[in-house]
Structure 1
């Protein structure tokens, strides 16, 4: 068998097809990324007790890294892509964390060990179920091709994934409020700015009576919801993961929304360019699972997705305040 045949065989077993004019490198990276789900599941099952105990995270990482090293010795571009990620989370941990986030592998001892969950489904869209646990990609259970690391099938039901991005509209009486000066807030988000990196100013900006502030501390920021009340500005601390959804909402208020640009690659694949890092965890975990990161393993901007899952993905983006347009619209603007 030629080395060039290995990825083709893996891709065929997983049901992964090339999109139009896709390079060998891109196809190989997508194939290895998807295959990693099944290797991680296999590692969790190989605990000497038929998967009852599961494996420690360090063992999962070591085994996955060994497999990736072997593949990279045949295809150096895979190793180069793995090492291109921008953050410090090891690639193996990035992958198994994505399975943990959706319940594909689970822990019953506070993260001491992880085991593969029993076969089950979760309704993530009006007509889409994610298949979790051990599934045979050559069997009859799946009705849709793999996308990212997600197996899925068509099934009409009410989605179990509930997004509640408007937590900032809860009654004021639910929380204790302080003044901005008491909290030491020294930076405020201006949602009219082009980039989130450049949005922080020294003066409060409260479109529609609400805003976002932060306090600079040693090695971190503390974020606050701001609220206009009786000619004063009140503040309350919010969890760090909440500020991006509030900032996205503020941008929509001032007519400066974030956009997700969808480019059709062929009849079976599309590319989504969107600010994935600003999505709330309950949404980002599924979009991470159902897409292939393109430029780097932790790519938070460019993702490839199967066409069959595209509507569910764009519905998720829109529910978080991200506007969606296709590439033809982008080119005409």
Structure 2
């Protein structure tokens, strides 16, 4: 139940009430997720709701097709933040490993996502080094300045977002395949853990996990929601195919 409540809170369907473990239903509203789809959030009576005729229940959520004002996509951090970041020589960080955008993997923890060579010729690349004190990897955005490479510390979420971008720019995008189970459902293995939190929450409530409720990747969706989920994935650099 804690996992289910967490997903509904993240999506905005219910709200924390201030007391430990206590939640309340929010006021009913439609939350657009693309130009032609929204989530119905909050407490409402399905039989009398204006959108009842077109509403589809999928996973924990109510999906409503229609015409909406799509949310404005957030610009990636390397387009908005790089001028304000502290840049120094990459050599100051000692021995570095560079991301391998040609890797079949999509996660930062996989050893074959990294190489000793600087393979990426794009404006930005991604590197990591091991922090001596903690033994944990630390991530760097890397860019060229003449003959030198400059680097700036970034957090894991920024590094993951840049990795997805570099894979796309290298013609090696993360690709997932939706496989139809029957006329009403499709299943897919998704990299939910590497998506921005709001998109991950939306996908969470629109799907059923295959197996344990806390499982990240293997999901089932209602057929009516698949097109929208594919659009959300594509917005974040993940290519979706139909198997």
| TM-score, length basis structure 2 | 0.85
The separation in 1 between residues aligned to 2:163 and 2:20, in whole angstroms, is 32
Match in the other structure for 2:212 = 296
Q: Does 1:268 align with 2:184?
A: yes
User: Which range moved further: 257-266 or 130-139?
Assistant: 130-139
The separation in 2 between residues aligned to 1:185 and 1:288, in whole angstroms, is 39
Match in the other structure for 1:156 = 67
Q: Residue 32 of structure 2 is aligned with which of 105, 111, 123? A: 123
* 237 and 282 in structure 1: CA distance in 2 versus 1, 3 angstrom threshold: farther
Q: Residue 189 of structure 1 is aligned with which of 77, 99, 104? A: 99
Matches within 5 A, 1:202-221: 202-217=116-131, 218=134, 220-221=136-137
The separation in 1 between residues aligned to 2:25 and 2:9, in whole angstroms, is 10
Q: Indicate if the aligned counterparts of 2:61 and 2:205 stay in contact, CA closer than 8 A.
A: yes
Long gaps (5+) in structure 2: none
The separation in 1 between residues aligned to 2:216 and 2:227, in whole angstroms, is 19
Q: Indicate if the aligned counterparts of 2:125 and 2:166 stay in contact, CA closer than 8 A.
A: yes
Shift of 1:108: 6.3
Q: Does 1:107 align with 2:28?
A: no
Q: Indicate if the aligned counterparts of 1:144 and 1:308 stay in contact, CA closer than 8 A.
A: no
* 304 and 229 in structure 1: CA distance in 2 versus 1, 3 angstrom threshold: same
User: Relative CO higher for 1 or 2, CA cutoff 8 Å, sep ≥ 6?
Assistant: 2
Shift of 1:167: 2.3
The separation in 2 between residues aligned to 1:179 and 1:206, in whole angstroms, is 17
> What is the root-mean-square deviation of aligned Cα atoms in Å?
2.5
Q: Residue 87 of structure 2 is aligned with which of 177, 190, 201? A: 177
* 276 and 172 in structure 1: CA distance in 2 versus 1, 3 angstrom threshold: closer
Match in the other structure for 1:200 = 114
* 169 and 118 in structure 1: CA distance in 2 versus 1, 3 angstrom threshold: same
Q: Residue 4 of structure 2 is aligned with which of 89, 95, 100? A: 95
The separation in 2 between residues aligned to 1:110 and 1:234, in whole angstroms, is 48
Q: Indicate if the aligned counterparts of 2:101 and 2:120 stay in contact, CA closer than 8 A.
A: no
Q: Residue 135 of structure 1 is aligned with which of 44, 64, 68? A: 44
SS of 2:122's partner is helix
Long gaps (5+) in structure 1: 1-63, 65-91, 328-333
Match in the other structure for 1:80 = none
Match in the other structure for 1:306 = 222
**Which whole-Å deviations, capped at 9, do the CAs of 1:144-163 have from their partners, x for residues lacking one?**
22111111323311123x43
**Which whole-Å deviations, capped at 9, do the CAs of 1:120-149 have from their partners, x for residues lacking one?**
221112122211112344554533221111
Shift of 1:237: 2.0
